[in-house]
């Protein structure tokens, strides 16, 4: 574990980079930020002789710090409550791209990880990558049996670099959270813990391949959406081989339109596929940006890059579905009740007051296409509510929030007139009916009772293990409790016993000398 001095040196170096690009001015001006933190960032700015006025380049600062910071910056782009709306909007432009690693190093990684020459695995491989990101880069290739594939390879030494930087993020987050107040409510330590878990998944390509395989199973029955096939024989922790996709990137709207695709239908299909993953399966692709989605000739959407995946348990999905449906129908009272049931809002607040606050944010959005909504105003309203009602950040929902923002952005680009609420409402309503209706409640109760009955034999066996039957030996008689010399319950330590022993020995010697005992 690095020392505090090591963390401070790293933070000072990063702080200088951030300060020079005025990326800390937002914290310095935020009245909700801890006073000590504001003073620190002010010192960093003054040390670099940088004024407050001028452009603030948040994305450039994170890019200059390094690969782990790029990933962290992309995560913080979904946290305007933590970094401010201006910083979050700027960080949305942060592209996860770096200069490629020379192919000789990529070849060495492939050959060392498989323990055999590259030619035994691939008949062709393009030395020029089709993409080079902070964690890995991707090359186009052909397997020895003639299949076109994409080969994703980790950058050499990237695991060690991420581990080092994340340790400093954890150290810094702990100290910021210890400042209390708003910093404690926003739970930066849990934010970094989630970030660590996400990046650890990305740094093990076997887990990414497993995620792709699991998502393919979950979405097998959804028409118009699919996942490429994994080549498990050519996949390990540092290399992943996956089916090559010949399609058009979903961001190329003009090209999609020229090919005759129905953009409104694709937009709706994207929203429904996301809701299917998040609400029905509870397992969703959490990096659905434009570069990771393709459209094939028949209109099928194909997703790639499964390093970041999200999970939501069944109860949380039920709450989420009810919240979404309540917002679409204007049932703010039920939405407020769910927040209290889920313990997102402390019980000492009023449900009715929280419902009224939700109405103030929700009503201006209902019935309008996304292009007419001010996302900034909506976020300002939501974050004001969380602060006013002492709502702690829910880190398990951060990936969902991030993905919803991405999906909304792509859907709007495809169809500016799409109404996200109207698109989502029929699906959510049907899911609620299936999952929360009387038939579902009865089925759940039968399942739970059956599982309880099946656990009874094991429970009885464990009770018998704790209280075994008596053997052939007779019961031992009760033994008196003898205080031990090491027993300090009465406040006597070794010094007391030594003193008492010395006094006793002296008294016995004196009695012998006087002839009182013989």
Quick check: 372 pLDDT over 70? Answer: no
Residues recognised as catalytic: 287
Quick check: 251 pLDDT over 50? Answer: yes
Residue 499 φ then ψ, to 5°: -65, -45
Mean pLDDT value across residues 47-52: 82
Confidence (pLDDT) at 460: 76
Confidence (pLDDT) at 292: 87
Instruction: Burial-class residue 409 by CB neighbours within 10 Å (0-12, 13-18, 19+).
Output: middle
DSSP 33: S
Among the listed ranges 43-52, 190-199, 288-297, 364-373, which one has the minimum average pLDDT value?
364-373
Confidence (pLDDT) at 464: 76
d(CA 295, CA 326): 33
> Residue 145, Cβ neighbours under 10 Å: how many?
8
Confidence (pLDDT) at 323: 73
Highest mean pLDDT among 108-122, 310-324, 411-425, 485-499: 108-122
321-334: per-residue pLDDT in tens?
777 777 667 788 88
Residue with tokens 């402390």: 346
Among the listed ranges 351-355, 413-417, 470-474, which one has the minimum average pLDDT value?
470-474
Residues in contact with 115: Cβ distance below 8 Å, sequence separation at least 6, in sequence order: none
Highest mean pLDDT among 131-135, 180-184, 381-385, 446-450: 131-135
268-323: per-residue pLDDT in tens?
899 888 888 888 888 888 888 778 899 999 999 999 989 888 888 777 777 777 77
Mean pLDDT value across residues 490-509: 52
CATH of 102-155+204-244, one of 1.25.40, 1.10.3470, 3.30.200, 3.40.50: 3.30.200
Domain ranges of the chain: 4-94+159-202+480-514, 102-155+204-244
Mean pLDDT value across residues 164-178: 87
Mean pLDDT score across all residues of the chain: 79
Confidence (pLDDT) at 435: 61
> Residue 247, Cβ neighbours under 10 Å: how many?
16
Highest mean pLDDT among 5-9, 152-156, 282-286: 152-156
d(CA 214, CA 494): 63
Closest by CA to 373, choosing from 360, 364, 386, is: 364
User: What are the CA-CA distances from residue 235 to residues 113, 141, 158, 262, 408 (Å)?
Assistant: 10, 14, 18, 36, 33
């Amino acid at each position: 574990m690095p020392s505090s001095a090591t963390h401070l040196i790293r933070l000072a170096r990063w702080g200088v980079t951030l300060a020079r690009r005025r990326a800390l001015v937002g914290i310095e001006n935020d009245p909700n930020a801890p006073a000590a933190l504001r003073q620190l960032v002010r010192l960093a700015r003054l040390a670099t002789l940088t004024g407050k006025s001028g452009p603030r380049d948040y994305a450039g600062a994170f890019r200059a710090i390094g690969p782990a910071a790029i990933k962290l910056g992309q995560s913080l782009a979904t946290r305007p409550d933590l970094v401010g709306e201006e910083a979050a909007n700027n960080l949305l432009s942060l592209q996860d791209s770096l200069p490629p690693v020379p192919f000789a190093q990529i070849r060495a990684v492939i050959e060392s990880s498989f323990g055999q020459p590259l030619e035994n695995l691939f008949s062709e491989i393009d030395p020029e990558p089709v993409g080079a990101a902070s964690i890995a880069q991707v090359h186009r290739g052909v397997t020895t049996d003639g299949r076109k594939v994409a080969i994703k390879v980790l950058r050499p030494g990237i695991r060690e670099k991420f581990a080092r930087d994340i340790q400093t993020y954890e150290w810094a987050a702990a100290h910021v959270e210890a400042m209390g107040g708003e910093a404690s409510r926003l739970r930066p330590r849990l934010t970094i813990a989630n970030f660590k878990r996400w990046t650890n998944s990305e740094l093990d390509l076997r887990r990414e391949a497993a995620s792709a395989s699991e998502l393919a199973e979950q979405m097998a029955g959804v028409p118009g959406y699919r996942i490429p096939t994994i080549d498990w024989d050519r996949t390990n922790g540092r290399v992943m081989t996956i089916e090559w996709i010949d399609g058009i990137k979903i961001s190329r709207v003009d090209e999609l339109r020229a090919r005759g695709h129905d953009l409104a239908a694709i937009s709706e299909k994207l929203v429904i596929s996301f809701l299917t993953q998040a609400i029905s399966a509870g397992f969703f692709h959490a990096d659905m940006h434009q570069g990771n989605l393709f459209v094939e000739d028949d209109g099928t959407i194909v997703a790639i890059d499964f390093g970041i995946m999200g999970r939501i348990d069944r109860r949380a999905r039920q709450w989420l579905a009810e919240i979404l449906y309540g917002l679409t129908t204007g049932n703010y009272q039920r939405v407020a009740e769910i927040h209290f049931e889920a313990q997102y809002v402390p019980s000492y607040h009023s449900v009715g007051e929280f419902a009224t606050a939700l109405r103030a944010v929700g009503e201006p959005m209902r019935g309008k296409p996304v292009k007419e909504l001010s996302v900034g105003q909506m976020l300002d309203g939501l974050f004001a509510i969380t602060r006013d009602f002492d709502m702690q950040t829910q880190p398990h929902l951060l990936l969902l929030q991030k993905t919803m923002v991405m999906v909304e952005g792509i859907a709007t680009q495809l169809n500016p007139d799409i109404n996200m609420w109207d698109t989502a409402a029929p699906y959510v309503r049907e899911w609620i009916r299936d999952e929360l209706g009387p038939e579902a409640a009865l089925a759940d109760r039968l399942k739970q009772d059956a599982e309880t009955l099946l656990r009874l034999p094991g429970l009885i066996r464990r009770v018998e293990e704790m209280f075994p039957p008596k053997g052939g030996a007779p019961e031992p008689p009760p033994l008196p409790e003898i205080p031990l010399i090491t027993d300090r319950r009465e406040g006597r330590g070794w010094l007391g016993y030594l003193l008492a022993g010395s006094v006793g020995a002296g008294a016995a010697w004196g009695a012998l000398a006087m002839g009182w005992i013989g």
